[in-house]
Copies of this chain bind each other. A is one copy, B any other.
């Protein structure tokens, strides 16, 4: 998208921003509208925390700071947790997929 980012990092930025969008959009829409377990504070808080972590991780990669590696490792962890919780809850397929893809990409970037 902008010329100085290498393709591997841009793919990770894309995965982070995709997961950010899915977690934020689904929690503030789908989950609150469904209610029940989908609207429990713990679930919404995890979705938001995952969304914000993905957003900040992409941001630090875009800045070009070598500190992105630590954030990528933490981002992989919270995305893995969010994918697991969403799979258990059900009716959250788009979020499970976005979190899994982001976790894998971030884990590679952190290595």
In the complex the two chains form, is A30's CB within 8 Å of B49's CB?
Answer: no
User: How many identical subunits does the complex contain?
Assistant: 4
Q: Which of A30, A40, A62, A95 has the most CB of B within 10 A?
A: A62
In the complex the two chains form, is B30's CB within 8 Å of A4's CB?
Answer: yes
Classify the secondary structure of A's interface with B.
helix
Which A residues between 9 and 27 are near B, CB-CB below 8 angstroms? 13, 17-18, 21-22, 24-26
Q: Which of A3, A32, A63, A98 has the most CB of B within 10 A?
A: A63
Give min CB distance, A53 to chain B, whole Å.
Answer: 7
Ranked nearest first, the 7 interchain pairs of A and B with the lowest CB-CB distance are: A56-B56, A49-B65, A2-B25, A32-B41, A4-B29, A70-B74, A45-B65
